[in-house]
Structure 1
């Protein structure tokens, strides 16, 4: 018994005609007639009543049809599942990342994901969170890995991690001797911040506003190496995650007296189609997050 015989049988039952079934299956009419005759011979029952002008299903044929429809439905499901699986193994995922996320968290994410999914390509661009939100809205990105300051109603979000923001200063800076630094003590300091489309910059400016500080911003950039180099040279102070400056002996990082935190998460546009490859990426990052926290 062959799968194509079952398809031909179901088509004749559905259309009530061998001729129309042949047209539907794109084969010659004699091929369907022979296939059904062979099927009846193998089963040892008559599936159709035949007359000069019409063909009708026998009682045995109706019983068999129920089984055949179930078999064909399961076969179609299996084929679609394998197509989805194949698609999820290949493809390009367009990912937007913010500067600090890209420097601190993303390398480990990429390394682990590449090991598990070597045929998937990550096309990564580095932008501020606000720009990434715009690109997601336009469908120019599939997913963003960003600093999340607040719930964005147009985007779905899945949290990744929560990290503390440190004040970063040159090793010779007078405040470097402090274990913790109260934010008001930074009022007269020159600030080196990320660019205007970043939420990490907004977090710092909102903290300035809470303390009535008008920040003196001397430099803005999304380039981590540039910011670190300027801090080393005493051009100004900045606000980074401690791992970024951990291995730079000319820079010290100090906690704020009242800590500030950076929330990182994945965001995507629920109104846009998510490819199987993108869904694979999202689920993988969720799993990595659970592994890292020991949850689940």
Structure 2
């Protein structure tokens, strides 16, 4: 059994479908089918049970899969290390949360790509909870995020600046002309917030609780555009980072009298070496942030 057969077998088990496995592997369907037939012939095992178009993994197939999976993981890790030995990472996986992404994503896909066409930046749009999980699992190289002072010690944090959290409302709102608001002013205001995977939402709840109030939240959404749209349609107000509001949004951002801030920075897994292309990207982000 060779590595190619292992990879083909793993993908067939993963999808339980020859066509989808072939698409993932970027090979033809007959190539995968022949490889599986050859593997069964070489091992003398019945690895699959076929039910129409669907392929079910047999008992022997599951045993083989359990042995092959760690081998493929080790091979992937070895290939990753060999690539790192060049001290260049031409493909950088970066997590960017929606609010920071409003400013930085156009720069990464525009100005940075034009200046460094040899460096491929893969942007994953997600919140901080998922970003940290993916960093731990080494599915990301670095993440941009807003965070509080209570940081996970398994990561390193490179501060970019301080981001203000503002009360955001529609132009005809009673509060729209206010230079600032207090939490007591808006204790009964209908709110729509980003969901619990965002540090901003935790901060809002902490501030309300500290002052003895409970925010009147009618909806939590993982999508920034949903929150902004509900505010524009005058259904609710919200709390967002100031840099998430654009001039043509028809949304008013108002500071809280006792301002709310989150740190903004670059987060990486602690102990991980930083390579040349990553240093170039980090330098660019620092120079162009805000």
Per the normalisation by structure 2, the TM-score is 0.64
Contact 2:99 2:243 in 1 (8 A): no
Greater Rg by CA: 1
Distance of 1:126 and 1:249 partners within structure 2: 21
Q: Secondary structure at the match of 1:161?
A: strand
- For the residue of structure 2 that corresponds to 1:174, the secondary structure is coil
Cα distance in 1 between the residues matched to 2:223 and 2:194: 8
**Higher mean displacement: 186-195 or 280-289:** 280-289
Cα deviation code 1:189-216 (max 9, x no counterpart): 1221112111111111111111111122
- Compute the RMSD of aligned alpha carbons: 2.5
Question: What displacement does 1:115 show?
Answer: 2.9
Contact (CA 8 Å) 1:164, 1:260: kept in 2 or not? yes
More helix by share: 1
1:219–1:250 Cα change, 3 Å: same
Question: Matches of residues 165-204 of structure 1 in structure 2 within 5 Å?
Answer: 165-204=165-204
Determine the C-alpha separation between the residues in 2 that align with 1:239 and 1:178.
15
Shift of the 176–224 alpha-carbon distance from structure 1 to 2, 3 Å rule, reads same
Q: Which residue of 2 aligns with 1:256?
A: 256
Structure 1 counterpart SS, 2:254: strand
Q: What secondary structure, in the 3-state scheme, does the structure 1 residue paired with 2:92 have?
A: strand
The alpha-carbon deviation at position 133 of structure 1 amounts to 0.8
For residues 125-274 of structure 1, the aligned pairs below 5 Å read: 125-150=124-149, 151-248=151-248, 250-274=250-274
**C-alpha contact 2:99 2:241 (8 A) present in aligned 1:** yes
Question: Cα offset for 1:175?
Answer: 1.5
> 192-201 vs 278-287, which deviates more?
278-287
Kept after mapping to 2: 8 A contact 1:99/1:222: no
From the superposition, tell whether residues 228 and 276 of structure 1 become closer, same or farther in structure 2 (CA, over 3 Å). Answer: same
Aligned to 1:104: 103
What SS does the corresponding residue of 2:229 show, helix, strand or coil? helix
CA contact (8 A) 1:158 1:286 kept: no
Give the TM-score taking structure 1 as reference length: 0.63
Indicate the residue corresponding to 1:122 in structure 2.
121
What's the CA shift string for 1:163-194, capped at 9, x where partnerless?
Answer: 22221111221111322111111111122111
SS at match of 1:156: strand
My pick for the range that moved more, 237-246 or 91-100, is 237-246
Residues 25-56 of structure 1: per-residue CA shift (max 9 Å, x gap): xxxxxxxxxxxxxxxxxxxxxxxxxxxxxxxx
Aligned twin of 1:67: none
Question: Moved runs in structure 1, 4+ residues, more than 6 A?
Answer: 83-86
Q: 2-side partners of 1:248 and 1:223: how far apart?
A: 19
Q: How many residues align?
A: 207
**Hey, what's the Cα distance between the residues in 2 that align with 1:206 and 1:172?**
28
